[in-house]
């Protein structure tokens, strides 16, 4: 019990205090695999060219399909940009007021919890680390920098902070 208490006390709160993550906004999200295992690319495959991301693994293809479903499941959510890396995913999610706003608008946490849960159910076990990283994009310059980062992340994989 003591080790559990120490581990939970050291866990840092990463959400912005008093911010409602169901409000209209643009969010940069990073989700990592458990222990940052390289599960999402078929690294054994070759592309024939340098600096091109390998094809997605079977698991990566499942994740790609689930990302494409988010827009249709949540009327107010739009996946604006994303990339699937070997051991993590980056996404820009835009929350807008929907035509028929539900009484309780889905939060970023709920959207990602259900996204991870759907993949876990299909695979038969969880492949995810707990939680996720988020950054609220507040202006056009920030948006452009993050868009560029996502766009170039595959070719800079070996320099990435999540590279193992």
Task: Pull the structure tokens for residue 24.
Answer: 């209209």
Per-residue pLDDT tens digits for 38-89: 999 987 654 544 445 678 999 999 999 999 999 999 988 999 999 999 999 9
Gap between the Cα atoms of 159 and 164, Å rounded:
10
Residue 122's pLDDT is what? 96
- Percentage of the chain with pLDDT > 90? 57
Gap between the Cα atoms of 80 and 64, Å rounded:
14
* DSSP secondary structure string for all residues of 112-138: HHHHHHHHHHHHSS--BPSS-EEEEE-
Cβ 43 vs Cβ 52: under 8 Å: no
Domains, the chain, in order of start with CATH, read 20-159 (3.30.70.1290)
- Looking at per-residue pLDDT, the higher value among 162 and 126 belongs to 126
Query: Could you tell me which residues are beta bridge partners of residue 138?
Result: none
- Percentage of the chain with pLDDT > 70? 72
- Looking at per-residue pLDDT, the higher value among 28 and 53 belongs to 28
CA-based nearest residue to 116, from 135, 133, 130, 102: 130
Residue 3's pLDDT is what? 44
- Could you tell me where the DSSP H helices lie in the chain? 2-10, 58-73, 108-123, 140-152
Residue 156's pLDDT is what? 80
């Amino acid at each position: 019990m003591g080790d559990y208490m120490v581990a939970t006390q050291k866990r840092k709160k990463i959400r912005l205090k008093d911010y409602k993550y169901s409000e209209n906004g643009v969010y940069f999200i990073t989700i990592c695999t458990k222990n940052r295992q390289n599960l999402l690319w078929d690294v054994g495959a070759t592309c024939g060219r340098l600096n091109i991301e390998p094809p997605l693994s079977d698991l990566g293809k499942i994740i790609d399909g689930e990302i494409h479903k988010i827009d249709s499941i949540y009327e107010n959510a739009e996946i604006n940009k994303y990339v699937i890396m070997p051991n993590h995913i980056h996404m820009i999610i835009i929350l807008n007021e929907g035509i028929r706003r539900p009484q309780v608008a889905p939060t970023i946490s709920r959207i990602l919890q259900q996204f991870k849960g759907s993949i876990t159910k299909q695979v038969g076990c969880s492949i995810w680390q707990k939680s996720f990283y988020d950054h609220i994009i507040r202006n056009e310059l920030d948006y452009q920098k993050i868009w560029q980062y996502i766009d170039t992340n595959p070719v800079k994989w070996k320099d990435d902070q999540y590279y193992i």
